[in-house]
Amino acid sequence: MILNKFKILKQEIIEGKILSQTEILKLCMANDKEPLYRLANDLRTCFRGNNLEMCSILNAKSGKCTEDCKWCAQSRYHNTHIETYDLIPEKEALHQAKISANQGVAKFSLVTSGRTISDTDLEKVCAAYRQIREDVKITLCASMGLLTKPQLIRLYEAGVRHYHCNLETARSYFPKLCTTHTYEEKLQTLQWAKEAGLEICCGGIIGMGETLEQRIEFALTLRETEATSIPVNVLNPIKGTPFENIKPLSDDDILLSFAIFRILNPKANIRFAGGRNLFSHIQEKALKAGVSAAMVGDLLTTLGSNIQEDLKMFDRLGYNIIR
């Protein structure tokens, strides 16, 4: 009976059904979560095949951020003792892009700290992107805060094809995490990025004190953004931030979250992002709960994954790496 129910539900989702918050919450309340994970995996296979896409990021400008996001090591409101520096040289960006491409990474992004980026720095990163586009076979992405539409158009003209701006959490919870910018400003940036011709990479962080209902609310909002890539970070508490002592999520919470993001965003790449060190013992299970992509290598202010070890795991599990 249960198997038949999920078989019917799978077909309905494939045909375009969007589950309501009440419907997905009811599924999540079942004691046995395995049918839900299988549904997420079946949807991954249907829409993404057995392909897996890797991306990497470079912390191109670090620290001194004016925003008060409670989770972030780069905020000047928090005493985290991270390395701070201004925009990196073009040759360093080119060097790192080549390293990523040579290891089979499909996408490469420069990420800058701060609410936004100045036009002067934007021209510098555009010059770097033009050089990378000329010398390296890799898809270019950018993550530079709350840019204007003209700035986003300049990135597109320089060769960038994906813009990343995380919503981070549910709209109903965001004001408790950040007061220096709004959810609406993020949504406006995403809309302008689409109008500039860029595809959207938008996800967030789980484990910041939000409820299951808010995680579902968040996943439904992400669907509205038409994000083609959804990075799911698991909070990695950083000393000096307000969340340094927050209780970690359980394994079941993490697996359930990945499944929710897949079921409510069946066509998107659901992507491993930050915090993988916290659930390395269950990441193979997570891959079978809807994940179809991974951020690899080091992250912004924390160590990430070993790309070669990731490649071995993905190969052992039978994934085709998208290059």
Give the pLDDT confidence of 20-67 residue by residue, as tens digits: 999 999 999 999 999 999 999 999 999 999 999 999 999 999 988 999
The dihedral of CA 127, 82, 297, 231: what is its sign? negative
Residues 6+ apart with CB under 8 A from 300: 57, 59, 62, 73, 74, 111, 113
Supply 198's token pair.
Answer: 């860029």
Closest C-alpha among 99, 86, 67 to residue 125: 86
Q: Please report whether residue 15 resides in a domain.
A: no
- CATH code at position 128: 3.20.20.70
Q: Please report whether residue 74 resides in a domain.
A: yes
Phi/psi-derived region of residue 303, left when phi > 0, alpha when psi is between -120 and 50, beta in every other case: beta
Q: Quick one: pLDDT at residue 1?
A: 57
The dihedral of CA 229, 109, 175, 150: what is its sign? negative
Q: Quick one: pLDDT at residue 304?
A: 57
Based on the structure, what is the number of domains in the chain? Answer: 1
Residues 6+ apart with CB under 8 A from 70: 177, 178, 208, 241, 242, 243
Q: Is 269 within 8 Å of 229 (Cβ atoms)?
A: yes
Q: Please report whether residue 64 resides in a domain.
A: yes
Backbone angles phi, psi at 80, to 5 degrees: -110, -5
C-alpha span between 25 and 10 (Å, rounded): 16
Q: Please report whether residue 173 resides in a domain.
A: yes
Q: Please report whether residue 9 resides in a domain.
A: no
Query: What is the pTM assigned to this prediction?
Result: 0.95
Predicted confidence (pLDDT) at residue 158 exceeds the cutoff of 90? yes
179 lies in which domain range? 21-322
C-alpha span between 21 and 48 (Å, rounded): 24
Q: Please report whether residue 7 resides in a domain.
A: no
Q: Please report whether residue 138 resides in a domain.
A: yes
Predicted confidence (pLDDT) per residue in 255-285, tens digit: 999 999 999 999 999 999 999 989 999 999 9
Closest C-alpha among 84, 119, 109, 69 to residue 229: 109
Q: Please report whether residue 4 resides in a domain.
A: no
**What is the average pLDDT value for the chain, to the nearest integer?**
94
